[in-house]
Chain A
Amino acid sequence: MDTSYTPKEIMTIMAAREIKNGDIVFSGTGISMLAAMAAKKINAPDSVIFFETGAMDSLLEEIPFAVADPRIMYWAAANSSLTDAFATMQNRITGDRVIAILGAAQIDRYGNLNTTCIGDYFSPDIRFSGSGGGCDVASFVPRCIAFMQHETRKFVKHLDYLTSPGQLTGNGAREKAGLRPGGVSLVVTNLGVMRFATDTGQMYLDQYYPGTTPGMILENTGFDMDVSRAAPADPPTPAELKILRENCDPQRLILGPA
């Protein structure tokens, strides 16, 4: 088997490794759903996937293209509603087990996300879809993984709009604002993996992929970032790649060309 891999493949595996057995995984579509499926088939067989639309533990025989795709409704434990799905994240018994996977147009050093617009809010250069459930998830869920393309225009000093709260301005600002601990705790990009310092709330480089260096990652980051703790990432194993390719997305609908 080909043991080389695409950026999407290593990103999927890095996120999947973060999911623990027994986690309740909040998923969107695309690569985040693939990471949730990969975790379930590789390292977290008892994890449960759910969607903001209210489907819990869907079978996912075919890859859904939207969180309202009828493919998520088949063989679910329950099909409920939006208010119920968001309650699951806040429930004081189930909420602590939830891990979420998000994406964004911009992220700052504190893990705050923008999915609303580039430019002025009222006359934006680019308008995006908006929060959807993103703000709710970042507000409620103790651990969130953010998938990003690693570019300076996406890793910015100041967000054009703060849609979803991370550590806000750091140093305990999140708790001061009234939020419970949570928000983005892991950032997975095409170059490496970032985490957040517990005291300052600032992003630091945790792992860099084969073929990248901390310096290269800093060049693609629009703010200063601590790289002193960075270690080389363990690349995807042949076993992980085999399961991802053969059991999760055999048609490469999300993985794209090999």
Chain B
Amino acid sequence: MNNDMNKTMPLEKAVARFVKTGSHISIGGFTLNRNPMAAVYEIIRQKIKDLHLYAHSNGTGLDELIGAGCVSKLEIAYGGNGKAAPTCIRFARAVQNNEILFEDYSNYMMSLRFMAGAMGVPFLPTLSGLGSDMLTTWGFSESMRRSDPKIVDSKLAVVDNPFGNWGGARKVVAVPAINPDVTIIHVQQADAMGTCRIQGLTFADVEQVKASRHVIVTCEQLVEKPVLRQHPDMNQIPFIHVTAVCHVPFGGYPTAVYGHYDYDAQYLKRFAKAARDEAAFRAYQDRFVFGVKSHEQFLEKVGKDRLAAIAADPKTGYSVNMKRD
């Protein structure tokens, strides 16, 4: 039942209640934009392991979770973190060292899979990937699939167009629906019931949210209901889909939140450097993740100067002339 008037709760509590060992999860945003980073760090601090992560293009959040050893299975289209790490470093290492089970899809396939989950249909059709190795190379074995009721028995299926050549296609790729146990997104504004307003690109957040059993929303601003209800055309997610609302200013940091702050290019660069070395990476997470009790403490450690340097210009929504190399 998602109609409670007040779903606000501390982030620690929301993560502890809805993200469990072995949960199938997805996180919102895209590469270095609007990742629910406060929640990602909280998952790592609570040492929640064996997660099954569904990702289209993930970046910062994905690499922190994989680096911390929280992910055991991954269905993914892209792991990259902008200029600092065109391929996510901990992701690449985990694959190269056989530390996780993984399976490749495209961005459109993953977006359609979330959409199918949101629509309650078993699959959606696309022409993407015909003739590619995505169809024939399964990351998860047939026996592993059959032994796990939460994983579909086959990866992708090419099926004949039941309408002949209608639409100019004789066959299509059926991409199976995803229904995560929990999706976590970070948005600019939410009210206590969970209605959300996202500024800028929504990526696939809306589909991910509507496909999920539980949804944790972290928000820059917790606003009164009338603020959102006066302009409902600007809202993307109605409260019925949302389970918990956590007010976490700078909850997307170090990724960008349009209209509020830019990505922290320096932080991402330092993270990429640490990620290349095992000891340096442990030291990094010990200091910035395990060495703090909350996102607020993390931000104190990052310092006011960094946050001021990435503050968004009100006109453009990003930090103009910010040093980014």
Name A's B-contacting residues (CB within 8 A).
Answer: 29, 52-55, 61-62, 65-75, 79-83, 86, 90, 92, 116-117, 121-136, 139-140, 161-165, 168, 173-174, 177-180, 253
- B56 on the interface (CB 8 Å rule)? yes
B30 → A minimal CB distance (Å): 4
Do A129 and B86 touch (CB < 8 A)?
yes
Known: A83-B111, A180-B168. A71 touches B318 (CB 8 A): yes
Do B324 and A79 touch (CB < 8 A)?
no
Q: Which residues of A contact B33 (CB under 8 A)?
A: 66, 68-70
- B2 on the interface (CB 8 Å rule)? no
Do A68 and B87 touch (CB < 8 A)?
no
Known: A127-B87, A128-B87. A80 touches B77 (CB 8 A): no
- B80 on the interface (CB 8 Å rule)? yes
Do B79 and A81 touch (CB < 8 A)?
no
Closest to A51 in B: B201
Most buried by B among A90, A136, A163: A136
Q: Which residues of B contact A70 (CB under 8 A)?
A: 33, 200, 256, 258, 262-263, 312, 317-318
Do B77 and A74 touch (CB < 8 A)?
no
Which of B77, B88, B96, B207 interacts with A131 by CB under 8 Å?
B77
A252 → B minimal CB distance (Å): 11
Number of interface residues of B (CB under 8 A): 69
Do A54 and B203 touch (CB < 8 A)?
yes
Closest to B86 in A: A129
Q: Which residues of A contact B207 (CB under 8 A)?
A: 81, 83
Do B104 and A164 touch (CB < 8 A)?
no
A117 → B minimal CB distance (Å): 8
Do B106 and A131 touch (CB < 8 A)?
yes
Most buried by B among A82, A139, A179: A82
Do B91 and A127 touch (CB < 8 A)?
yes
Q: Which residues of B contact A72 (CB under 8 A)?
A: 201
Some 19 contacts from A to B, beta carbons below 8 A apart, are A62-B320, A66-B59, A68-B30, A71-B316, A74-B318, A79-B200, A79-B202, A82-B204, A128-B92, A130-B79, A131-B105, A132-B80, A133-B77, A136-B107, A136-B129, A163-B104, A163-B133, A168-B131, A178-B130
Q: Which residues of B contact A62 (CB under 8 A)?
A: 318, 320-321
A250 → B minimal CB distance (Å): 13
A72 → B minimal CB distance (Å): 8
Do B128 and A83 touch (CB < 8 A)?
no
Which of B29, B78, B168, B171 interacts with A129 by CB under 8 Å?
B78
Known: A74-B316, A83-B111. A133 touches B106 (CB 8 A): yes
**In the complex, chain B residues 121-175 whose Cβ is within 8 Å of any chain A Cβ:** 127-134, 137, 139, 158, 168-172
Do B325 and A121 touch (CB < 8 A)?
no
Q: Which residues of A contact B91 (CB under 8 A)?
A: 127
Most buried by B among A54, A135, A139, A140: A135
